[in-house]
Amino acid sequence: QQQVKQSPQSLIVQKGGISIINCAYENTAFDYFPWYQQFPGKGPALLIAIRPDVSEKKEGRFTISFNKSAKQFSLHIMDSQPGDSATYFCAASKTGANNLFFGTGTRLTVIP
Amino acid sequence: KAGVTQTPRYLIKTRGQQVTLSCSPISGHRSVSWYQQTPGQGLQFLFEYFSETQRNKGNFPGRFSGRQFSNSRSEMNVSTLELGDSALYLCASSEGQTYSGNTIYFGEGSWLTVV
């Protein structure tokens, strides 16, 4: 059972465009929502994370939007660059457990 | 500070054999978790060790086991390998608290191919 659902599976965006990846969860006990970026041959690296007490968090070109009532959160990459081409994973965890539940990943390709 | 180090990076095993993978966490980190990554199932949590004790376990058969040493280094073992065990095995370390938001850092993984 996939506890975090992620879409789309793949995404192609022009350089300078906005990339949007969506995730949804069911378990209301989740209280931490990180996004990881993974390049081929590398392990996932933390990109940005949010807690449900805020609706938005921005770090540089990366923004997380969080909708607690809908149990959804999304990653927006502004001014997408070819160097952003990677696989992005949303994840969720809950207090009391030090493990992450991952979405299935989105393969982002930014075309020059 | 050195990152999470995993060895070996690549290995090929035969069905029925066993394999041991090693992980050295970031200095000072006391929690080590293991994840399996496959194209079909994505990233799935295997287990977590903290202070040499398994603190949390995912939904994997008993063929998958692990341990943690007093220096926080960890090993995971898979016995009686099956073709479906072919995957990237990722080790992750964190300071260890179970409050949410405890940043988890991943190594580059060990690529296991079972033939």
Which of B100, B102, B106, B108 best probes binding to A when mutated, by most A CB atoms within 10 angstroms? B100
Sign, Cα dihedral of B113, B5, B68, B101: negative
Torsion angle in degrees (nearest 10) through CA of B76, B82, B83, B85: -30
* Residue pLDDT tens, chain A, 112 long: 679 999 999 999 999 999 999 999 999 999 999 999 999 989 999 999 999 889 999 999 999 999 999 999 999 999 999 999 999 999 999 887 778 999 999 999 999 9
- For B32-64, what is each residue's pLDDT tens digit? 999 999 988 899 999 999 989 998 899 999 999
Which of A23-32, B15-24, B51-60, B97-106 is predicted with the least confidence, judged by mean pLDDT? B97-106
Phi, psi of A60 (to 5 degrees): 65, -125
Contact B45 A101 (CB under 8 A): yes
The pLDDT value recorded for residue A95 is 81
Residue of A41, A44, A95 lying closest to B106 (CB–CB): A44
Q: Does A31 touch chain B (CB under 8 A)?
A: yes
The pLDDT value recorded for residue B102 is 75
Residue B101: pLDDT above 70? no
Overall average pLDDT of the B67-82 stretch: 97
Residue of A34, A42, A104 lying closest to B42 (CB–CB): A104
Overall average pLDDT of the B1-29 stretch: 95
- For B65-74, what is each residue's pLDDT tens digit? 999 999 999 9
Q: String of b and e for B35-68 (b: at least 16 CB within 10 Å)?
A: bbbeeeebbbbbbbbbeeeebbebebeeebbbbb
- Eight-state DSSP code of residue A27: -
How far apart, in Å, do the first and last CA atoms of chain A sit? 37
- For residue B92, give how far its alpha carbon lies from the nearest alpha carbon of chain A (Å): 9
- Structure-model confidence comparison of residues B94 and B112, the more confident one: B112
The pLDDT value recorded for residue B92 is 95
Partner B, chain A 57-86, Cβ-Cβ below 8 Å: none
